[in-house]
Amino acid sequence: MDIKLKEKIKKYITGVWGIEILVVCVSLVTLTIGYYQSFNNTFAELGAGTFDALLNKDKYIQSMIYYESKDLSKEIYTDTNNLEDISILEYKNQHLSQNNYFYGSLFYILMNKETGEFTTNDVNLYKSVQIKENTVALLEEKINDYLKEFKFSSVRIDNKDIYNYYIESTNEKISKQNIDKYIEIYYRDPSVYSYLIKTESLTARSMILSTIFTMLLLLKIIVNSIFNSSNIHLEIKVLKRLFYVLKYGYKYKNTRNKMIISISGSVGVILVYLYLIAGIRNQNILITFLSKYPFKGTLILVLIPLMCVLYSLKKSLDISIINDGLKKINAGDLEYNLTNIGEREVKELVNNINQIKDGYKIALNEKIRNEKLKTELISNVSHDLKTPLTSIINYVNILNDRNITDEEKKDYLTILDKNSKRLKSLIEDLFEVSKLNSGKMTIEKQEIDIVSLVHQGVGEYSNLYEEKNLEFKVSSNEDEIFVDLDGKLMSRVFENIIVNALKYSLNNTRVYIDINARENSVEVSFKNISNYEMDFNTQDIFERFARADKSRNSSVEGSGMGLAITKSIVELHNGSIKIEVEGDMFKIYLIIPKK
């Protein structure tokens, strides 16, 4: 069995679900009503209840004959003035012909207890029972043989211990003076009740199975509520979806038309059933059930197809709602998220649309950010190039003045040399960043000890800014860590970070460098305390010409391209770099793969 299927089955068995609680509640109410009606009605009192048809068919048939003899008994008692004069019956029965005989009819025998004389509406009985002496015992024996021969089911009423159902159920006062003289026997072919027995037996079995199922489900709910209380889900998705369709279905044309058609069709079913089918009897189980329980049958006929159709509208309604949401997004509302509803396919569609929208939003924001950065880049490049260039032009003009001394010329030439070198450095850095970002830079990797490379960088540049009295603390979890990398480019990375630390660290503090070898990579971290308030964006600081001192009027010189170059070199090595700021603590982390 599939693992996911096993997990789903296990989750269901060990959980409590809202639909289960609803089913149990509905079943308990329905079964309670069903059992009450089955054991508290006229048929049950007579022995012709639903469960009698399942457990004792003979008793059921006899009870039904007893019940259905009421109208025939009433007719007999009315014609004979409560059996005072049965000559009218004898006259009627003697003139019965074979054409009046129907095998499934309800027959009666009226027999005098004293004389043994009898009368019956069964033409065949007269032919079968022919005796010379009409004694009661002999007559009853012959009648019983006849009933057995033709397999009739019968009810014997002695009018002493038991009376017919007409007498037992009528509110009229009936004189029993003449009635006590007669024995009444009502009988008919039992096959007449075969379909009714099937129907009632099926109902009884269904109630028993429903009871067992409901009890097991109730036991599951109780046990899981006690021992698996964390796996309780009270939401009823079926009802939620139906209410959802009813709530929003009329809002959209597509679903509205389907709902109108569905409701109209349901009304049509009701009309057809009430006016055409309701009069049919005893033709099949469904018709028998609907005839006996017209209100329940009508509800079943209407609600089942109606619920099915309403449920089928779910996807159409989902698509209509999605289209409404797309109109909002198309109108420019990129903050709007489509509701993740519906079946699995619809949910996937909603997720994909939301992802496309989020991607478009990110791309749009990135485009805006890039446009902003381009503007700032032009401004920063202009500023950083213009400053030394302006200084060079000014000092060149001064040197053209014949009135300056040789000593002044020497100072001005020193300034010119410094600014020209700075301008050259800016241009070289700019070209290097462009080359790195263009993807045309090739790297030549070889196995290099990264610990030695860091120490080399610290030793080479730590003497700069001696007046700041900075101390470098380098630690490593291994003495040697060999990594495949371009030594020249990676030296530039450490150079840029170390020089930045020297420039921007608070005087008389320490710079901590930690080198940690992992299974497949090396992490190098640099931590220093800043000498200024850091309010920059840690992502924007990697952009070209971005500097922490946003005014760009700091006395600390820098092109603003050091971290941009560092990031590009690290990414060329398939590594990553990130910056964290914690108060005045500046942290930069490099993750470099070993191969």
What tens digit of pLDDT does each residue of 304-349 get?
767 766 666 666 677 777 777 777 777 777 777 777 666 666 777 7
Statement: residue 508 has pLDDT above 70: yes
Cross-sheet strand order for the sheet of 118-120: 118-120, 107-112, 182-188, 153-157
SS3 label, residue 103: coil
Per cent of the chain over pLDDT 90 is 20
Domains of the chain: 41-188 (no CATH), 237-342 (no CATH), 364-439 (1.10.287.130), 442-593 (3.30.565.10)
Place of tokens 């024996």: 141
Mean pLDDT across 368-380 = 63
If you average pLDDT over every residue of the chain, what do you get?
A: 79
Q: pLDDT band for position 117 (50/70/90)?
A: confident
Mean pLDDT across 348-374 = 74
Kindly report the number of other CB atoms within 10 A of residue 519's CB atom. Answer: 5
Q: pLDDT band for position 553 (50/70/90)?
A: very low
Top-ranked range on mean pLDDT: pick from 253-267, 461-475, 511-525: 511-525
As a whole number of angstroms, the distance between CA 432 and CA 488 comes to 14
Statement: residue 275 has pLDDT above 70: no
Predicted local distance difference test score (pLDDT) of residue 434: 65
Predicted local distance difference test score (pLDDT) of residue 185: 94
Statement: residue 64 has pLDDT above 90: yes
Q: How far is CA 499 from CA 197, 285, 418, 470, 496, in A?
A: 100, 95, 18, 12, 5
Residues of 130-139 as b/e, b for ≥16 C-beta within 10 angstroms? eeeeeebeeb
Mean pLDDT across 83-99 = 77
Mean pLDDT across 59-64 = 93
Predicted local distance difference test score (pLDDT) of residue 403: 79
What pLDDT digit, counting tens, does each position of 181-204 carry? 999 999 999 998 998 899 899 989
Predicted local distance difference test score (pLDDT) of residue 216: 93
Predicted local distance difference test score (pLDDT) of residue 10: 85
Place of tokens 């190039």: 385
Per cent of the chain over pLDDT 70 is 79
Q: Alpha carbon 428 to chain centroid distance?
A: 60
Q: Which two tokens stand for residue 317?
A: 């309604």
Can you say whether residue 281 is alpha, beta or left, with left for phi > 0 and alpha for psi between -120 and 50 degrees? beta
User: Which residues are CB-neighbours of 248 under 8 A, at least 6 positions away?
Assistant: 255, 317, 321
Q: pLDDT band for position 515 (50/70/90)?
A: very high
Q: Which two tokens stand for residue 566?
A: 């560092």
- The dihedrals phi and psi of 115, each to the nearest 5 degrees, come to -95, -20
Predicted local distance difference test score (pLDDT) of residue 116: 81
**Per DSSP, what are the bridge partners of residue 511?**
472
Q: Which of 165-169, 453-457, 488-492 has the lowest mean pLDDT?
A: 488-492
Predicted local distance difference test score (pLDDT) of residue 551: 43
As a whole number of angstroms, the distance between CA 74 and CA 59 comes to 23
Place of tokens 């059992």: 35
As a whole number of angstroms, the distance between CA 62 and CA 106 comes to 12
- The length of the chain in residues reads 595
Identify the CA nearest to 167 among candidates 109, 82, 41. 82
User: Which residues are CB-neighbours of 569 under 8 A, at least 6 positions away?
Assistant: 436, 486, 489, 490, 492, 493
Top-ranked range on mean pLDDT: pick from 100-104, 209-213, 494-498: 209-213
Predicted local distance difference test score (pLDDT) of residue 491: 86
Statement: residue 243 has pLDDT above 90: no
Q: Which of 112-126, 286-300, 307-321, 415-429 has the lowest mean pLDDT?
A: 286-300
Mean pLDDT across 138-142 = 84
- Under a CB-based contact definition with an 8 Å cutoff, are residues 45 and 33 in contact? no
Identify the CA nearest to 119 among candidates 150, 67, 79. 79
Q: Which two tokens stand for residue 213?
A: 């199922």
As a whole number of angstroms, the distance between CA 459 and CA 16 comes to 69
SS3 label, residue 591: strand
Statement: residue 111 has pLDDT above 50: yes
Predicted local distance difference test score (pLDDT) of residue 219: 94
Statement: residue 133 has pLDDT above 90: no
**Per DSSP, what are the bridge partners of residue 521?**
593
Q: What is the pTM of this model?
A: 0.48
AA identity, residue 145: D
Q: pLDDT band for position 293 (50/70/90)?
A: low
Q: Which of 53-62, 441-450, 577-586 has the lowest mean pLDDT?
A: 441-450
Statement: residue 513 has pLDDT above 80: yes
Helical (H) or strand (E) element with 588: strand 585-593
Predicted local distance difference test score (pLDDT) of residue 264: 83
What pLDDT digit, counting tens, does each position of 400-442 carry? 877 788 787 787 788 778 778 777 766 766 666 666 666 666 7
What pLDDT digit, counting tens, does each position of 202-211 carry? 989 999 999 9
As a whole number of angstroms, the distance between CA 169 and CA 70 comes to 9
As a whole number of angstroms, the distance between CA 69 and CA 338 comes to 70
Predicted local distance difference test score (pLDDT) of residue 209: 94
Task: Report the DSSP pairing between strands 232-233 and 16-17.
Answer: parallel
